[in-house]
Structures are given as C-alpha cells and as structure tokens.
Structure 1
Amino acid sequence: MRLTVAQANDLAIAAMRAIGYAQDEAFATADHLVDAALRGVTFGSLPRILAIAERFEKTGDRRTGLKIVRETPVSALLDGGDHVGYFVARRATEIAIEKAKQSGMSMVGAFNTWYTGLFAYYMEMATREGLVAFAAGNGPAIVAPEGATEARLGTNPIAFGFPALDDPVIWDIGTCAIMHGELLLHQRLGEPLPEGVAIDIKGEPTRDPAAALAGAIKAWGGHKGSGLSIVVQLLGAMCGGPVISPGMSDMAYFVLVMDPELLIGDGTFPERAAELSASIRSARPEPGRPGVRMPFDRSAAERRRRMAEGEIDVPDIVHSGLMHLVDRGRL
C-alpha cells in the first residue's frame, strides 16, 4: 500500500488516538514512526502501532503521569509512567538538550517506559542543535549472551550522533542479530527469519519467528557485541528501573548530550566531522561495491528520496490492521 506522507501521518495519529492516546503522545509517536518509514526502516515504522495495541490488550492501560523524580542542573531522572517510549525518550532528549545548552553537557535517564524506537531519531534531535549525543536503552531478556542458549539480555540499542556540515554522523545499532520489532514483523507477514539470528527454546537454530520468541535472539558480533550489550544493560540499570525488565514494560532509556565547544571552543567541530566523512567516502571501495558510506548516509538519502516522491510503502496487512483500529475506535 502506497500512502502519501501526510496520509501515513494522519493514519498513525488516528490509530494512536483510537487506542486511547492523547494528541501530544499520538503526535510524538506518529512523527517518529513516519520518519522511520521515510528512512526505509519498515519494521520500526507504522507496524509498531499494532504492537502497541496488542500490548494494551494484554496489560490494560497502566499509565500514570510522566514526571521528573530527580534533577540537578546537568541531570534528570524521569519516571515514564508506563507511557510508550516514543513519547518518554523524546521528552528525556529534549530535557537533555536544554540542559546541555545551559551547562555544556547533561545526562538524562528514564525508567518505567517501553518501545523507545529508533535511537537515531533522538540523536538527530541533538545534532540539529550542534550537539554531540550518546544514547542506550535496555529491555527484557530476549537475547542470549554469546555462548548461552537462554535469554538474559535485551535487544539493547546504542547510538551516537555528531553534527556535521551536511548530514550528521549517526551510528544506531541494536546489539542483537535481529531487532525484536523486525522479528515481530516477520511473524506478522508470515515470513521466515534470516539464517543464524535466533534459537528455539531448546537452543537450536530456528527461522520460525514464533519459535524464536519462545527461545532467544542471538547477540550481534559474537563476544564483542555480547559484551557491548551487557554494558548497555548496566547503563539502563543506572536509570533506576529493574536490571532486567519484566517483559515489555519498565524499560530504561539513557542519553548523554555534550556541547563540543566545551573542548575546542572555536565552532569548527561540524567542519571536522565533515572532513572525516569526506575522507571515508573517498576511500577506494571493494570490487563490486558502489562506494563507501558513512553511518546515516543511507537513511538520509532514503528520506530525501521518499520526501521528494511524497509517498511511503506500508505493508497491506499493516494498513488493514491500522484501519481496523481506527474503525473500532469510532464505535
């Protein structure tokens, strides 16, 4: 299904409103998910609203007020009140940016939230302000540490963002072989998983999404990725929630924002980042490859292309599910 960007945004807001979200929370979620679609990250876009609705059906509405529970001039800790992470992490990042502008650097944590989405979105919020940022988020045990056949870690995304003269340099990864949202989309579409990304409950390799959900996702990058995932889990634990989240709830988000002017003081950091980007892109590519890219190059190019076209792709089954939510909300 092809939708205009405006249609996709309106549908996302309507679906979020239909399942009980206020306008500001629906807007924040829709903006994040449509941006993911523009960047070509289908699993992190509109299908997530269906997962949000399914989570509500399982747990009911447990939301309380989003509030700051601890604060200093350079830090804050938020109780997310069981609000969806697209809203909580956006607010946490806004606070971190405000504090970094005042004090040069800041760190903000949030707990009692879930489904935080693509961390590149939050990194870009900071880079637009000329700031450097780092974020990490932990979650429930659905990833097996290297060498294990049982889940003990979250998908545990980690991201860095640096302002540059053109596109920012943003590196955003999950420390797992496949993201949970991507696994859910494979299940929703009835498609097998790629080889080597998951194991079943007995520890055997599987391409069946349902078997993987009962078993575990594998860590990305062997022992190195597994170690990085452990670091992310501990950064999340620093935010005051559980060390390992109890299912799809009470996850943590941590963001550190820095003004490069604290160190160099001459306003040249974006030029320095652009210099490195130009150097890497000019490197001789391997045979058969079109060229060397910087992190976020593909995302930025895809977003420009789709914005110029004015349309995005939404899987038919996802579109039908969203329309069902909207229609059900009208009853």
Structure 2
Amino acid sequence: MKIQIDEARQLIADVMATYGYDDEQTATIADHLIDTELRGIHQGGLARAATLTERLDRSEPFGPITTINETQSSLALDGGDQLGYIAAKELTTRLTEKAKTSAVVAGTVRNTWVTGMFTYYLELVTAAGLIGFVASGGGPYVAPFGGSEARFGTNPVAFGFPTDGDPIIWDIGTSSLMLADLTLAKKMGEQLPEGLAFDAEGTPTRDAAEVLDGGTITTWGGHKGSGLALSAQLLGILGGSAIAPPWFTDMGFFMCVLAPTAFSDDFAARAGDFAAVLRATRPVDPERPVRVPFERSVSLRAQTRAAGHFEVEEQFVTTLRDVLARRSGT
C-alpha cells in the first residue's frame, strides 16, 4: 500500500508516545525510521517499528540516559534501557560538540538496544565537517567463520567523511543478513537466500523462524568479515555492555569523531576530488557507472520525498494502528 510520509511519521510518533517517550524522543525515533524508509531500506522502517512494539510491550520502565564517565575527549553513557535511536543520537550530539575543542574524541553507550542505521548518525557528524567511525555489538545471532553456533551480533560498522558536496558514508553489517532481514522474512513468510543460515542444530536452513529460534547466520566476507565482526563486538563491549546479551537488550555502541582540520586544512575538498576520481572509473558494465557509497540512498531519498509517499506492506501499518488503539484506548 502507499502511505504518505507525514502520515507514517505521525503514526510512529503517536505509537511511541504511548510507551512514555516525550515529544522530542518520539520525533527522533520517527525521523530515524522514516529516513530509513525513504532510502528504500524497508526492513528498518515501519516493519522495524512494529517489531519495536513487541519489545516495548514487555519492557520494564526505562530510565534516564546517564553519564558514567567523561573527560575532555571521551564519554561513556548508560542508556537506561532506552531505545538506541535516542541514546546513540545523544552520544553523537555530545561528541560532535567535544570535537570543537579536541581533535579526536570517542564515546560508548551501554544498556541500550536497536541503534538502527548508522548512516543517520554519520550524516549529523559529517554535516559538522567531521569524520566519524561507528561500530556496534549485540546479542549472538552470527557464527564466526567456520562455525555454526552464534557468537557475534550482526555488528554493523560505518565510516563517514565530509566533502565539499555530499558526504561519503559507508555503512554495512558484518553479517550476511541483518536481524531486520530475519524478522521481516519471518513476518512475510519468505525464504532466506541459500547458504546463509543454520538452525539450532547447525543444519543449513532457509527458514527465518528456525534461525531466530536458536539458529545462526554467517558472516559477510568469510574469514575477513568474521575478523571485522569480532572487532565490532569488542568495541561494543568496550563501554561495559554484556558479552552475549539476550534479544534486544544491552547492545554496545562505539563512536569515534575526528576533526580533519587538525590534520590538514583542505581535507573535505580533496575527499570530494577523490570521489570524482572514483566516479570516473571505467565501469565493467557501461549501463552501471561506478558509484560512491551513500549516493544511491540519498538519491532515492530525494525522489521519495518529492513523491510524498512510499510503498509499505499493509500488515505493518495495521499492526501499528492496532497497537495505538490498544494502548490509547481508542
């Protein structure tokens, strides 16, 4: 079905308000989820919002975000079991401010869950003319290379670089599938691609329900991706999060922010020049020119905004409307 962007944003905000989030927090959550939809990453939009309500329905009341430790160039936060969209954005905002007086700053968040699309935070960082690196670790859903038992989270990593035009942002999961892919496939009754997952007994499977019921997925990129996943997991643990937290709890989030002017005066211009060099690369397929990371999604976002609506599976809109009616008594 088609849904208007403003209608979808308001629906998410109204639902989240029923769980005790204030106006600023509901706006943050809705903005993040809608931004994901606009980029065509539908598993992270309204479908994800429906999954969040399942976790929120059985949550204890969340607490405030508190500072565990802070120096001029570092920050460690306890998320108070707040949704990661809120906790990670607070870390991003505070580190960006610190980077005005310190060339390199870093921070962590523990006791939070679902930090979403890292591109969202890195757009904020690069808009301030800064470089950012983000990594996260979570509950075990991914097997290390050569194994068939879960040890890693899906553990995304992302880099963001300012240029004199659009930023360059590279944002990937270190697993062959993301958790949002599994939950979406389960809800839609769709099979997973071949060779990417095991059930609880270590038998290859294409059934997302079997994977979510004690199974595991593979890392992206074989042994190289496995090493990257390990690194992300350790950076997530750095802030004090659990080594193997249960579903949607105590995910660890790490961010490092650098001020490029501390190292060279014209980094953004030269980064933009190099992006132009990449685009000018001779393509293997003349119909598919070489792109710089972030270009496709930002172009799609602009197109979707211009249209004013996007396509979404009706069941997710229905679920959110049902949750709103149930919790608000309407």
Give the Å deviation of 1:191. Answer: 1.2
Distance 1:288 1:197 in 2: 31
Cα deviation per residue 1:90-143 (whole Å; 9 max; x = unaligned)? 101111101011212211100000011000101111000100000001001110
Aligned to 1:290: 288
Give SS of 1:69's match: strand
Give SS of 2:252's match: strand
Aligned to 2:227: 227
2:213 equivalent to 1:208: no
2:281 equivalent to 1:301: no
1:285–1:292 contact (8 Å) kept in structure 2: yes
Q: Which amino acid aligns with 2:262?
A: L
Give the Å deviation of 1:169. Answer: 0.4
Give the Å deviation of 1:294. Answer: 0.7
1:135–1:255 contact (8 Å) kept in structure 2: yes
Aligned to 2:153: 154
Aligned to 1:113: 112
Aligned to 1:250: 250
Distance 1:276 1:64 in 2: 45
Give SS of 2:120's match: helix
Return the TM-score normalized by structure 1: 0.96
Aligned to 1:179: 178
Distance 1:36 1:105 in 2: 29
Q: Which amino acid aligns with 1:223?
A: H
Number of residue equivalences: 328
Distance 2:158 2:10 in 1: 29
Give SS of 2:99's match: helix
Distance 2:263 2:2 in 1: 47
Q: Which amino acid aligns with 1:88?
A: A
Q: Where in structure 2 are the equivalents of 1:54-203 lying within 5 Å? A: 54-57=54-57, 59-203=58-202
Give the Å deviation of 1:21. Answer: 2.4
Aligned to 1:326: 324
Give SS of 1:143's match: coil
1:236–1:254 contact (8 Å) kept in structure 2: yes
Cα deviation per residue 1:30-84 (whole Å; 9 max; x = unaligned)? 0100000111100111211211111123x42241111111000111100000000
Give SS of 2:157's match: strand
Give SS of 1:97's match: helix
Distance 2:281 2:310 in 1: 32
Q: Which runs of 4+ in 1 moved over 4 A?
A: none
Give the Å deviation of 1:27. Answer: 1.2
1:76–1:108 contact (8 Å) kept in structure 2: yes
2:32 equivalent to 1:32: yes
Aligned to 2:8: 8
1:311 pairs, out of 286, 309, 312, with 309
Q: In structure 2, list runs of 5 or more residues that go unmatched.
A: none
Q: Which amino acid aligns with 1:200?
A: D
1:18–1:328 contact (8 Å) kept in structure 2: no
Aligned to 2:261: 261
1:235–1:254 contact (8 Å) kept in structure 2: yes
Q: Which is worse superposed, 1-10 or 30-39?
A: 1-10
Identity, % of aligned pairs? 41
Give SS of 2:101's match: helix
Aligned-residue CA RMSD in angstroms? 1.2
Distance 1:107 1:22 in 2: 28
Distance 2:247 2:305 in 1: 36
1:75–1:106 contact (8 Å) kept in structure 2: yes
Cα deviation per residue 1:310-329 (whole Å; 9 max; x = unaligned)? 11222111111111111112
Return the TM-score normalized by structure 2: 0.97
